[in-house]
Chain A
Amino acid sequence: MTTSNPKRQFLRGTRDALPFLLVIIPFAALFGVVATEAGMNVAEVMGFSILVIAGAAQFTAVQLMTENAPTVIVILTSLAVNMRMAMYSASLTPYLGSAPIWQRGLVAYLMVDQAYALSQIKFEMERELTVSERFAYYVGTVAPLAPFWYGASYLGAVAGAQVPPEFALDFALPITFLAMIAPALRTMAHVASALTSVVLALLMAWMPYGSGLLVAAIGAMVVGAQIELYMERRAA
């Protein structure tokens, strides 16, 4: 039995998350610019980035507010964009559920796609990690991301410079997410699940408030689980 080494896992997490700064910084700066152009002051921009800390939901809220949507619709639609995080929360529970409540609270506050995906994939592959090592790794992944999320939001709000369209920054997010997912496609079941997710998400794109993604995700989980069961039975 190896001894628990949370500090080492924290640094691992930080190192694994560093590439995502390439997308976090421009994305946060863009939020600062867009929100300021919509009429928000610096305090409000920072309120969003620090208290809500959810890129896609923040953009959704600002977009709807500039369209003068009713406040209830703004809030509910933006929260719907975040509903995938309930699935993240559930899938982290087997690994972090026995951590102290303050640690689980911190995990919840800091839950972003990048930290979640890195951690979930690592926890699944390295079953021997202790709960405190897992917590340290997770916090380590957010450690470089959160400060730059706040800082770049601020710079976007005060400097307000637009990134020229030739930089094609719209594609920074897809590239980093695909880079994160590709190594996780370890088995037939994972590949089938990912393909199902893509096909269903495209077919369900017409559904309101991003709910199509939730349908696609549930369908993809069922496919993954069923294929895993089938492979196990065949191997037995």
Chain B
Amino acid sequence: MEELNHTTVWFVIFAMAIGSFLIRFSFLGIIGDRQMPEWVLRHLRYTPVAVLPGLVAPLVFWPAATGGNPDPARLGAALVTLAVGYFSKNVLAAILSGAATLYGLLFLLG
């Protein structure tokens, strides 16, 4: 591997810092307290459930740790986490039972 150029690294850091801030600030900064139309609000209400499941889906179905092949332990853990979270509405309980399922299945199937 070539040696990293430290000037370039700092350039990347500052460019990403400014760019990330502008992306995050965008609507909060520009729209502020102006009222958005009802149809826009109706779509925005679904942002968390529209983004996060898509973000984790490839990690659940094609984990890099198993070379991108579906893994029964990870699929099982994901299912248990979802089910416990859905029925208990308790984030910590969902995380702990998901982790327990993951380690349990990895141990049994490993």
The answer to whether A225 touches B43 (Cβ under 8 A) is: yes
- Tell yes or no: B12 within 8 A of A by CB: yes
Judge whether A79 and B16 touch: CB under 8 Å. Answer: yes
Q: Is the CB of B106 within 8 A of A205?
A: no
Give chain A interface residues in 80-97, CB to chain B under 8 Å. Answer: 82-94, 96-97
- Contact between chains at A94 and B36 (CB < 8 Å): yes
Q: A40 within 8 Å of B by Cβ?
A: yes
Cα A166 to Cα B10 with chains together (Å): 34
Q: Would you call A170 and B81 a contact (CB within 8 A)? A: no
Q: Please tell me if the beta carbons of A120 and B85 are within 8 angstroms of each other in the complex.
A: no
- A177 close to B28 (CB less than 8 A): no
Contact: B53 with A201, CB < 8 Å?
yes
Residues on the B chain within 8 Å of A61, using CB: 12, 16
Q: Is A147 close to B, CB under 8 A?
A: no
A34 located at the interface, meaning its Cβ lies under 8 Å from any Cβ of chain B in the complex:
no
Find out whether the CB atom of B2 lies under 8 angstroms from the CB atom of A182: no
Count contacts on A: residues with CB < 8 A to the other chain: 98
Complex Cα distance A74/B13, Å? 10
Interface residues in B, total, Cβ within 8 A: 78
Given A190-B46, A221-B46, residue A83 in contact with residue B23 (CB < 8 A): yes
Asked whether A183 and B98 contact (CB < 8 A) given A96-B28, A170-B63, the answer is no
Query: With the chains together, A191 CA to B2 CA distance in Å?
Result: 48
Given known A-B contacts A44-B10, A177-B56, A124 and B95 have beta carbons under 8 A apart: no
B13 touches A48 (CB 8 A): yes
Instruction: State the CA gap A236–B72 with chains docked (Å).
Output: 44
Q: Do B78 and A88 have beta carbons less than 8 Å apart?
A: no
Enumerate chain B residues within 8 angstroms of A68, measured Cβ to Cβ.
Answer: 2
**A88-B49 Cα distance, complex, nearest whole Å:** 11
How far, in whole Å, are A218 and B84 apart by their CA atoms in the complex? 27
Q: Please determine whether A40 and B26 come into contact, CB atoms closer than 8 angstroms.
A: no
Residue interface mask B49-61, A partner, CB < 8 A = 1: 1111111111111
Interface pair B33/A86, CB less than 8 Å apart: no
> What is the bound-complex CA distance between A165 and B110, given in angstroms?
13
Is A145 an interface residue when CB atoms closer than 8 A count as contact?
A: no
Q: List A contacts of B57 (CB < 8 A).
A: 197-198, 201-202
- Contact residues of A with B, CB < 8 Å? 16, 18-19, 22, 38-41, 44, 47-48, 51-54, 57, 61, 65-66, 68, 71, 74-75, 78-79, 82-94, 96-98, 101, 104-105, 107-109, 111, 113, 116-117, 120-121, 124, 165-166, 168, 170-185, 189-190, 193-198, 200-202, 205, 213, 216-225, 228-229
Q: A120-B48, A190-B46, A193-B49 are known contacts; what are 19 more A-B pairs with Cβ within 8 Å? A: A19-B92, A51-B17, A57-B16, A68-B2, A82-B23, A86-B26, A87-B47, A89-B27, A90-B26, A91-B47, A94-B36, A109-B24, A171-B59, A178-B98, A180-B91, A197-B50, A202-B61, A213-B55, A225-B42
